[in-house]
A and B are shown apart, each in its own frame.
Chain A
Amino acid sequence: MAGVFELVDEYEVTSSLTSINLGGGSSGSSGLNASIDSTYDTYFVTGSGAVLDGGNSIYLRWLVSGSEDLTANTKQWAQRAMYSNTSNEYRFYTSNYTELTLQNGTQAGENSAFYLYLNCFPESSVGSMVTVHSAWDHYGSPVGSGNRAYSRLGGAGDMTKQSCDGITIWSGSNFTAGTFRLFGLVK
C-alpha cells in the first residue's frame, strides 16, 4: 500500500559486534540480502537500545555495492548537539562518515537511540543525504561528570554523485545490545 513503511532489513545484536550493516545485499549483517534500491521512495532507519562496551561514539558510513565508501572527505555533515546540563554546540566536519552519537558511556542503563531518513541513496545522478536525529544518556564516567542526556539534530550529504545500497553503523567498541531496522516507504 502506497505511503506505508515496510520492513526491509533488521538486525538485533545478540553477540558483540563493532558494526552493523543494513542493506548492502550479501554484505548485510542480517543474512536477508536486502539492498537499498529504487523499489522504495525514502528509506527510514531506527536504532534503539544501542549499548557499547567502551566509551566510544557511534558513526554511520555509506555502503556502495556492499562495501564501505572510504573515499576521503566526500561526506559533509552538520549537526547541533544538545546537552541537558549545559548548552549546546555545533558539530560540522568533512570526512567519509558522519557521527550519530558522541562518546557513549558504559554505565549500567546507558543506551542510545537514533532515527535516520535516507534520501536519494539509489540515485546515481545526485548525492545521497541522511537526516539524523539521535539521543543518548550518560550516567557519569568514563566520559562525563554526572548525569546528562544528549540529543542530536542535523544531517549529512554525500558530495559524490553515486548510487549507495546500504549503510554501516559502527563504533570503536563493540555493540552489546541494540535493534537496528531499515524500512522503505512504499511508492
Chain B
Amino acid sequence: MATLEELKTEATAEVEAAKPLNISISGAVREMNEAEYAQRIIDITNFKWQDQQFGYIQARQEAYGSIGDQLDMQYKDILNDTTTWKDHIAKVKSDYPKPE
C-alpha cells in the first residue's frame, strides 16, 4: 500500500511526463503556471489516494460476480458437497484486501 507521499511522487512524475499542459482563458491559450501545475498534482494524488483506500470495494464488487452466479455456485455446492462459492469469496477478499 503506497503512502500519500509515494502517491504524490507518482502524480508528480505523471504530470511532468504530460507537460506542457495548457489551458484557455477567455480564448487565449497558455501553459499552466506553477500554481496550476501544483494543484493538478494535488488533484491526481488525491484521486490515487481515494482509489487506493476505497478502490478495493469497487474491485470486489466486480470480482464477486452477479448475485445470480453466486446463487448458482451455492446451489451446486449443496448438490455436490463442494465449497466453490466460499472459496471464490475468500479469493476475492484475498485478491483485493481492505487497506490497513
Q: With an 8 A cutoff between CB atoms, is A161 at the interface?
A: no
Q: Which of B25, B26, B54 contacts A93 (CB 8 A)?
A: B54
Q: Are B43 and A11 in contact (CB under 8 A)?
A: no
A→B interface (CB under 8 Å): 11, 15-21, 26-31, 33, 53-54, 56-57, 59, 68, 70, 86-93, 95, 97, 170, 172-174
Number of A-B contacts (CB under 8 A): 81
Interface-side segment among B1-9, B60-68, B76-84, B86-94: B60-68
Q: Which residues of B contact A30 (CB under 8 A)?
A: 24, 26-27
Summarize B's interface: helix, strand, loop or mixed: helix
Cβ A29 vs Cβ B18 within 8 A: no
With A95-B46, A172-B18 known as contacts, the answer to whether A33 contacts B58 (CB < 8 A) is no
Q: Which residues of B contact A87 (CB under 8 A)?
A: 62, 65-66
**A18-B22 in contact (CB<8A):** yes
Q: A68: nearest residue on chain B (CB-CB)?
A: B39
Q: Are B15 and A172 in contact (CB under 8 A)?
A: yes
| A-B contacts besides A18-B40, A31-B27, A89-B62, 5 pairs, CB < 8 Å | A17-B23, A18-B23, A89-B58, A93-B50, A173-B21
**A182 CB, min distance to chain B CBs, angstroms:** 15
Say yes or no for B44: interface residue by CB 8 A criterion: yes
Residues of A within 8 A of B23 (CB): 17-19, 21, 29
Cβ-defined partner of A26 (8 Å) among B26, B58, B61, B65: B26
CA distance A49 to B50 in the complex (A): 28
Nearest CB in chain B: distance from A75 CB, A: 12
B50 cross-chain contacts in A, Cβ below 8 A: 93, 95
Q: Which residues of A contact B75 (CB under 8 A)?
A: none
In the complex, what distance in Å separates the CA atom of A54 from the CA atom of B40?
15
Could you tell me the distance in whole angstroms from the C-beta of A95 to the nearest C-beta in chain B?
A: 6
A17 to B28 Cα, complex, angstroms: 11
Q: Report the nearest A residue to B41, measured CB to CB.
A: A172
Minimal Cβ-Cβ distance residue in A for B42: A70
A59 and B18 alpha carbons, distance in the complex (Å): 16
